[in-house]
Amino acid sequence: MTIQMLSIIGAVVAVAVGSISPALAEGRAVVAAMEGIARQPESADSLSRTLFVGLAMIETMAIYCLLVALMLLFANPFAR
């Protein structure tokens, strides 16, 4: 198995596995915010602002996986 094949497999695994838990976590966060807004519609403003910030934080994990995949594909230090 060459280093190129290993890099491609590594990139695929990084994105595929690394996006599972952020997806679940974002789903949970949105569910909680929806329940909060349904119970107290007047707090929708501050809830959605906090939700956006929280989602951005969770999403960072998936973005890191994407960056690792891109570095494996385009900036791999071992495949020179």
Q: List contacts with other proteins (CB under 8 A).
A: 45-46, 49, 52-53, 56, 59-60, 63-64, 66-67, 70-71, 74-75
**Two tokens at 78?**
């071992």
Least distance (Å) between residue 13 CB and other proteins: 17
Taking the least distance from each CB to other proteins, the nearer of 6 and 50 is: 50
Tokens 């690394």 belong to 18
Q: Are 23 and 44 in contact (CB under 8 A)?
A: no
Helix (H) or strand (E) holding 41: none
- Taking the complex as a whole, the smallest distance from the CB of residue 60 to other proteins amounts, in Å, to 5
